[in-house]
Amino acid sequence: MGDLRDKLVADLRLRNRSDKTIAGYVGCLRRLAGFYMRSPDQLQLDELRDFLLELTALGASPAWRKGHVAAFRFFYSVTLGWSEAEVFAALPYPAVPTTLPDIPTFDELLQLFDAAQTLKHRALLEAGYSAGLRIGEAVALQPADIDSAKGVIRVRRGKGAKPRLAKLSLRFLDTAGRYWVQARPEGPWLFPGRSRDRHISSRAVQRQVQLAVARAGLERKVTFHTLRHAFATHALERGTDVRIIQALLGHATLKTTLGYLRVQTNAIQNTPSSFDR
């Protein structure tokens, strides 16, 4: 599907989709073609539904299937120009169960930061929590993005390729400064990888998170994205306006931010029951 793949990639790039999304969509179409041993443009909607049902029978998670539906919807309605109404009607999104993240306490986060293998990794973890950054945003930071005069971090390319400003923590600034003096990283990245031309990979950072969790003896499941959840939840518990948190996180809609209201343990505990009144 060489030519089709190139057209799909071009359509995605025109809409500023991320490299991760592009790779995911291409992978979904490749699996579909391998399943039928035919080019995807030769398939019918019923065959796409059968493929999705096969994924279900094989035990694929709803989130995994949802990714395939998104890829198929885009490819057939945009790249091939099929009727969007017919494609969307034939390929509904599966319901994805939502789970409440297990938010670590502030003291547990300090234990996690103290357990980081190097000052570089500690600075990365602190960036994720203090500014609510996604892992892709944290690893792609450049020295010029840290604006200590204005007290902000410039996120050049957030989700949807949208730039935004995040809050610069003085504690993170201190750690980042000590790391900078110690490492003096060369090249454009604040956190370079093995090559100065590339930033540290997200996979390498996730490995460091798990190592730090083990060293700290934390029993909770913690990933880098957990730090972002903790940032939002702790901010809400401190009484920060939800719209400010929306802007800091770079959420397109308030509905996404309001999801954090469900995990405010303190707020739930301190809200009196109407019946008790």
Q: Identify which of 195, 189, 227, 191 has the alpha carbon closest to the alpha carbon of residue 209.
A: 227
Q: Is position 262 annotated as part of the catalytic site?
A: no
Residue partners of 198: CB distance under 8 A and separation at least 6: 189, 192
Copy the structure tokens of residue 256: 């996404």
Q: Is 199 a catalytic residue?
A: no
All CATH 1.10.150.130 domain ranges in the chain, comma separated: 2-90
Given the candidates 1.10.443.10, 3.40.605.10, 1.10.3720.10, 3.40.50.620, the CATH classification of the domain at 106-269 is: 1.10.443.10
* Residue 167: strand pairing partners: 152
Which of the following is catalytic: 65, 68, 122, 228? Answer: 228
From the list 5, 49, 159, 167, the catalytic residue is 159
Torsion over CA of 123, 124, 127 and 132, rounded to 10 degrees? -160
104: which 2 tokens? 């670590």
The Cα–Cα gap between 133 and 138 comes to 6
Q: Is the dihedral of CA 181, 224, 159, 233 positive or negative?
A: negative
For position 269, what pLDDT does the model report? 56
Each of the 277 residues of the chain gets a pLDDT tens digit; together they read 678 999 999 999 999 888 889 999 999 999 999 999 999 999 999 999 999 999 999 999 999 999 999 999 999 999 999 999 999 999 999 988 776 678 899 999 999 999 999 999 999 999 999 999 999 999 999 999 999 999 999 988 767 667 888 889 999 999 999 999 999 988 899 999 988 889 999 999 999 999 999 999 998 889 999 998 898 888 888 888 778 888 888 777 776 666 666 655 555 555 565 555 5
Q: Which helix (H) or strand (E) holds 30?
A: helix 19-36
Active-site residue (options: 251, 255, 262, 277): 251
Check residue 271 and give its pLDDT. Answer: 55
What's the one-letter identity of residue 214?
A
Whole-angstrom distance, CA of residue 90 vs CA of residue 115? 50
CATH topology of domain 2-90: DNA polymerase; domain 1 (1.10.150)
Residue 225: active-site member: yes
Asked if residue 164 lies in contact with residue 137, where contact means CB atoms within 8 angstroms, the answer is no
Please enumerate in sequence order all residues whose Cβ is within 8 A of that of 150, keeping only pairs 6 or more positions apart, or say none: 168
Q: Please give the Cα distance from 133 to 143 (Å, whole number).
A: 16
Cβ distance 77 to 42 under 8 Å? no
Residue span(s) of the chain under CATH 1.10.443.10 come to 106-269
Q: Give the three-state DSSP class for 155.
A: strand
Please identify which of the residues 120, 134, 229, 234 carries the catalytic annotation.
134
What is the reported pTM?
0.71
Is there a contact between 62 and 111 (Cβ–Cβ < 8 Å)? no
Kindly report the CA angle at 42 between 20 and 27, in degrees rounded to 5? 15
| 3-class secondary-structure state, position 162 | coil
* Neighbouring C-beta atoms of residue 227, cutoff 10 Å: 28
119-131 and 224-237 helices, crossing angle to 10°: 40
- Give the DSSP letter of residue 264: -
Known catalytic residue: 228? Answer: yes
